[in-house]
Amino acid sequence: MKKKTLWQEGIEPLHDTKFDYKEKDVDILIIGGGIAGITALYQLSKTKKNVLLIDKDKIGFGVTSNTTGKLTYLQDQIYEQIIDTYDTNTALSYLQSQRDAIAFVKQTVQREKIDCNFEEVDSYVFATKEEQEKKIDVLQSFLELNKIKYEIKDSIPIEIPSLKALKVPRTAVFHPVKYLYELARISLSKGVKIMENVRATDIDQDGAYYITHTNAGKIRSKKVLICTHYPFFIRPGWVPFKSHIESSYVVATHIEDTKGFSAITISNPIYSIRYHQDKQNYLLFASESDKTTKCKPKKEYYQKTSDRFESFFHLTPTYAWMTHDIMPNDHLPLIGPISKKHPNVMIATGFQKWGMTNGTIAGIILSELATDKHHPYEGLFLPYRPYNLKRCIQTVKDGIDNVNAMMKSTFQIPKGQAKIEVRNGKRVGIYIDPKGREHIVSIICPHMKCHLLFNEVDCTWDCPCHGSRFDIDGNLLEGPSVLNIDQKK
Ligand SMILES: Cc1cc2nc3c(=O)[nH]c(=O)nc-3n(C[C@H](O)[C@H](O)[C@H](O)COP(=O)(O)OP(=O)(O)OC[C@H]3O[C@@H](n4cnc5c(N)ncnc54)[C@H](O)[C@@H]3O)c2cc1C
């Protein structure tokens, strides 16, 4: 089985994305070239602003290349959760924002003639257990109240055990990385700039300007849009105290014929299904979402996802990958200014595994705010919205989970080719490669000093608290850390 996402295959790299010192003074700096950052770049490329986007690696190869790539507003039990935390009107605004995002992608694909396997399909949510049927009823009432057309079915159009399903028409699936690269190329042709392999490490204020420190020098800008999936600083914003991280696992394989639908269970256990039509056809299946603080071996999750795929579809996966997403405690993404004090530093995070729509809407909102306009959803997603009681309870629970994760990870016994030893008075992680060479790293995450866990499947050192990931030599793969292991600012 390839331990690799489908979406990175055959992508032609961008040209002319090397760091250019002439570009160190810009109007708007976007940090991060995933769906949020590239959508913002595309929108801003229509303005006369001097805009630069930097990415620590290649654009589009972050979490966006590990998604299942569905564009849908049927997002498991999200509306029930928002109604419970806030109210029906807030849930309705969220629903509207997701529909707007789907419409934006559809119109952009059509207007720009983007070849990204965009296909309109029906979406289903379904129940696999009796107690989940009530959740379908709640969703049904909510859609009815808001005059959204739906159909109730006994099952989904594939042989997965299901008791009840709700279907809506005209949602979509696409190839997320092809879409991003085309948006990036169109944006470049309009004069904005992209610099790859430039990692932001810190941001300082200098009067009306912000100075972003990077591994390639400083960049001065009036506005900074932080679209790095997880903002890389702790203050201001306090994102670690407003969210937790979940990992999810995806498997896929070639199939003969596709069926024009996507589906997801309404609550745990999550089974998410979609088809992809390209030169070959594929079936993708995601499952086993869990909080990273559980500190369970990744192999178990991969195995369960793969076993379910085989038992449901009688197919053997040829691709398998995992990724993290940020789950906000009050079930609304965090999009906009990081604090009242810093209205020109904006974030886009907390997409709760629905970043194709939320990342799109984030890019649109941030591009409006960065050009001193307003957007109807800016209040809905305001990152420094007041804490509500339910969110506080979740924050306390997450804090306890983080402490537990710290304890569990301290006493870990890594599986496979890794071990923990005390060397020169320090506990270090050691990976022994197939040639018998030792790769030694500190097991402390540079972000918030959590203990790293060895991921025996991907051969990475992963932070159970905030999701940073490092390779066997300590090189940063995924933030929020901005440093390699052992690197000091
Ligand atoms: C298994 C799984 C399946 C999913 N399926 C769906 C789905 O079907 N539909 C849906 O709507 N959503 C889905 N999601 C959610 C969605 O994939 C994510 O929310 C979304 O891709 C996040 O996009 P982003 O732009 O925030 O982050 P990314 O795509 O990770 O982009 C961030 C970029 O920032 C760069 N970066 C990071 N730190 C720095 C730094 N310090 N300096 C410079 N650059 C930096 C990274 O290199 C990266 O390119 C899924 C999530 C998971 C976990």
Give me ligand 1 centre to Cα 427, in Å.
32
Per the listing, tokens 């020109």 go with 344
User: Residue 381 and residue 366: Cα distance in Å, rounded?
Assistant: 11
pLDDT band at 488 (very low <50, low <70, confident <90, very high): low
Q: What is the pTM of this model?
A: 0.94
In the CATH scheme, what is the homologous superfamily, with its name and number, of domain 70-84+116-173+244-324?
A: D-Amino Acid Oxidase, subunit A, domain 2 (3.30.9.10)
Question: pLDDT tens digits for 448-474?
Answer: 888 898 988 889 999 988 889 999 999
Give me ligand 1 centre to Cα 409, in Å.
25
Question: pLDDT tens digits for 373-409?
Answer: 999 999 999 999 987 777 788 788 888 887 787 777 7
Question: pLDDT tens digits for 267-320?
Answer: 999 999 999 999 999 999 999 888 888 777 888 889 999 999 999 999 999 999
Q: Where are the domains of the chain?
A: 6-66+177-240+331-391, 70-84+116-173+244-324, 412-478
Ligand 1, closest atom to CA 479?
Answer: 38
- 154 torsion bin: left (phi>0), alpha (psi -120 to 50), beta (else): alpha
Written out in words, the top-level CATH class of the domain with range 412-478 is: mainly beta
Give the CATH number of domain 6-66+177-240+331-391.
Answer: 3.50.50.60
Give me ligand 1 centre to Cα 229, in Å.
5
Ligand 1 neighbours by CB, cut-off 6 Å:
31-37, 54-57, 59, 61-64, 67-70, 199-200, 227-229, 232, 248, 250, 286, 323, 325, 351, 353-357, 359, 479, 482
Sequence length of the chain is 489
Question: pLDDT tens digits for 170-207?
Answer: 999 999 999 999 999 999 999 999 999 999 999 999 99
Q: What is the pLDDT of residue 237?
A: 77
Q: Could you give the 3-state DSSP secondary structure of residue 123?
A: strand
User: Residue 211 and residue 65: Cα distance in Å, rounded?
Assistant: 29
- Ligand 1 test: best mutation among 63, 288, 301, 323, most atoms within 8 Å of CB? 63
